[in-house]
Amino acid sequence: MRKSIVMLLILAMIVSGGPSFAEVDGEDGFIALHLGSPLILSGEDIISLDSMNPGVVPVIHNDRTLVPLRAISEHFGALVSYDADNRVAKIQIEGVEFLFPINESYYEIHETGKQNQKVQFDTESLIIKDRTMVPLRVIAENILQMDVAYDNRVIFIGKSQASIDDQLVESIKTKIGQALKVSTRDELLALIESMEESSAEEPEREPLFGNQAPAMEESAAAEDSAKDFSNTNEQVEGINEADIVKTDGTFIYVATRDSIKIYKANDGKPVLTDEMEVQIDKATGEYVEFSELYIDNGKLVVLGRKGTMGNWIRPMPEPIPTTEIMVDSIMPYGGMEFVYLGVYDINTEGKMSLVKELEVEGNLLSSRKKEEHVYLVVNKYINYYGPYTEEPIPVFMDTVIGSEHREIPVDSILYHPGRYSPNYLLVAAVDIMDKDDPANIEAYLGSGSEIYMSDNALYVAGNDYNSFWGSVTNIARFSVEGTSIGYTGGGMVEGTLLNQFSMDEHEGNLRLATTSWNQDSVNAVYVLDKNMNQIGAVENLAPGERIFSARFMGDMGYIVTFRQIDPLFVIDLSDPAKPVVTGELKVPGFSNYLHPLSQDVLLGIGQDIDEKTGRQQGIKLSLFDVSDSGMPKEIGNLILGDTGSYAEVLHNHKALMLKQEDDLIAFDATLNSITGELTREAFNGLVVIRANAEGDLELIKEISNEGIYGQNVKRPVYIDDVLYYVMDDNIRAFNMDNYNEIK
């Protein structure tokens, strides 16, 4: 990552004043490709080479460049079909058919009224990644009647080609050559060895910041639409986030570190229906530690961390041909860690039955769920300081295809030229409804620190460092459609992100809120367009302070910075090329989390501050009226506790329960009170608060946890008019009309 700035500086120079590809993009649709890249540059737009199969890239075979027949032909208006029975790809142009038999070094020309012709070429057509790959010049020049230019791994296809200079080639390489597929195992090992050499040249800097059981025949019904129940507080509507407690209106699902428990809610008298505890395999030392859950339509998805206490040695595998999907079993060695995902059927009695499992080597950065697909984002560190104590290619296990651990196929690995990072970033997609559909895993030489997922794309942000700019954030964007995953571009902004709420996509543009750390801190909001080029920015916000929370809502952005006073900045992003600060409000304290109660009112949850001493005091809730973007105002606040008070919701938005139709929120908290010079804990438990867009902010109820300390799980959920307070192995239930406990 340390040398990534070289390429990104080139990109910045190109965007600001280099030659434009549009200058050579004529009316005939001139396009540019790059060997190993899944992207095309068409005019100024970066698009997927094959949007339906984003793993397809131009490759070298027998010293010839092969390109995907369908993608190139359809781009220039040809009709393409495939005869699966005879394994023949067909192109139709103005009534003429061109047939490419797979694994043959010729094509046929079929034209009405003329004798069929056979044309030989010097390599064969192949199937790679489920796509027909044919020689570049054959398809472009012979079939499509286009001109072809080839310069430094960059490919130009079009008519009436203009002069192409080195600067333009470098511009195109920077735009669509920023992530390339590894072609061979030897190439991958050479890349990893170059990381070791780079490390020697430049000192390391501190970062800135069981066996498968048959599925039950009868599954639990979908979420009970007749009941009102709480959902996990999530950033993007329709994009689910995992949590330690979930409910579907009938059952409550709880993940502790050492167990998964299912309770039937039973109208406030919960009954344990099933339990799965962590077990250590005495023979192998394997164990799974549970972390989070998803629940959807009778399917329970369990996430966790799998490790081993054994001392296994992983043998050197045979080299893997890039066209092979799987290799023989590879036994993990001692100390390896895996991200675990298990899919379980839940029947109408609340019993779970294993459907399939997935293990991906590394540590979970985060996950998301869209409809029936779960996406895992995993970081895998490479121990590249020689001599190697491990194989550098990550492994996985998917019970759909077998119980063995297998290497990620080499042709599923991308790298960033000129960037050196001893990490893999792995993105896995799992269909939780189809028991026979294997997971799709793509790997990238790089790492991530935050993720954001919209309905259109997955963004992974990683920290970097530059001696001139200081901290920077690199962003990689991926298309996610079902189990199909594809790299679609990358960008960069100055500064670092606070959390996932520092990113937001709106109308094809990505907005980011960052704090830069040079001699002093300074904040900014940047806007990147669909090509991940910066098109707008608001910079030099609140020098000397740092961002404590951010929230984007449509055309507006809201940023809270802090040193002594809490400034809330209102930013108008309706013109993404010219974002502007329209208003600012200063109040004591700061908000760690901003939540929209309506389009015009934000709820801020943070901490109060003594303006004279700067000492943090109690938990502060504020209501901000932002209906007038030029004059935001605080219309209500509530202080809970005093110095030392704490709540998980201050750093984890999923700890907040919302029942907005009744203007209620709830979260677990520890509230301290000050008595003279001593601090004593006054309350430990659940707080229920009325908060609405009219300015009402009132503590309704405190529910003590009755001295049950040390919980890993402390979450409120509701079903209809019953509030459930989940604390590890304990669930207490309260009638929400009067908050009397249901015994």
How much of the chain exceeds pLDDT 90, in percent?
Answer: 65
The predicted-structure confidence for 698-728, as pLDDT tens digits, reads as follows 999 999 987 776 678 999 999 999 999 999 8
Residue 622 has pLDDT above 80, yes or no: yes
Strand 423-431 relative to strand 440-445, pairing: antiparallel
Tokens 């209106």, located at residue:
249
What ranges in 593-685 are assigned the alpha helix state H? none
CA atoms of 102 and 97, how far apart (whole Å): 16
Count of beta carbons in the 10 Å neighbourhood of residue 322: 18
Alpha carbon 254 to chain centroid distance?
24
What is the average pLDDT across 478-494? 94
**Cβ-count burial of 78 within 10 angstroms (0-12 exposed, 13-18 middle, 19+ buried)?**
buried
Residue 649 has pLDDT above 80, yes or no: yes
Residue 342 has pLDDT above 90, yes or no: yes
* Residues whose CB falls within 8 Å of the CB of residue 738, separated by 6 or more in sequence, listed in order: none
Beta-bridge mates of residue 511: 504, 527
- The most confident of 338-347, 389-398, 612-621, by mean pLDDT: 338-347
CB of 213 within 8 A of CB of 351? no
Confidence of residue 503 (pLDDT cuts 50, 70, 90): very high
Angle at 715 between CA 713 and CA 720, to 5 degrees: 145
What is the average pLDDT across 567-585? 96
Q: Where is average pLDDT lowest: 154-163, 213-222, 350-359, 729-738?
A: 213-222
CB of 69 within 8 A of CB of 139? yes
The predicted-structure confidence for 536-559, as pLDDT tens digits, reads as follows 999 999 998 999 999 999 999 999
Q: Where is average pLDDT lowest: 36-45, 183-192, 332-341?
A: 332-341
Alpha carbon 608 to chain centroid distance?
33
pLDDT at 142: 93
Q: Within 13 Å, how many C-alpha atoms sit on residue 403's CB side?
A: 3
pLDDT at 196: 55
The predicted-structure confidence for 367-403, as pLDDT tens digits, reads as follows 999 999 999 999 998 875 544 445 689 999 999 999 9
**Cβ-count burial of 211 within 10 angstroms (0-12 exposed, 13-18 middle, 19+ buried)?**
exposed
pLDDT at 328: 33
What average pLDDT does the chain have? 85
Of 57, 71, 145, 66, the C-alpha closest to 103 is 66
What is the average pLDDT across 574-589? 95
CA atoms of 208 and 625, how far apart (whole Å): 34
CA atoms of 684 and 462, how far apart (whole Å): 37
The predicted-structure confidence for 131-189, as pLDDT tens digits, reads as follows 999 999 999 999 999 989 888 899 989 876 555 678 878 888 888 998 999 988 888 88
Confidence of residue 614 (pLDDT cuts 50, 70, 90): confident
pLDDT at 223: 56
Q: What is residue 681's three-state secondary structure? A: strand
pLDDT at 502: 98
Confidence of residue 301 (pLDDT cuts 50, 70, 90): very high
pLDDT at 58: 95
Tokens 């080139």, located at residue:
10
Q: Find the helix or strand (DSSP H, E) in which 172 lies.
A: helix 166-176
What is the average pLDDT across 267-281? 92
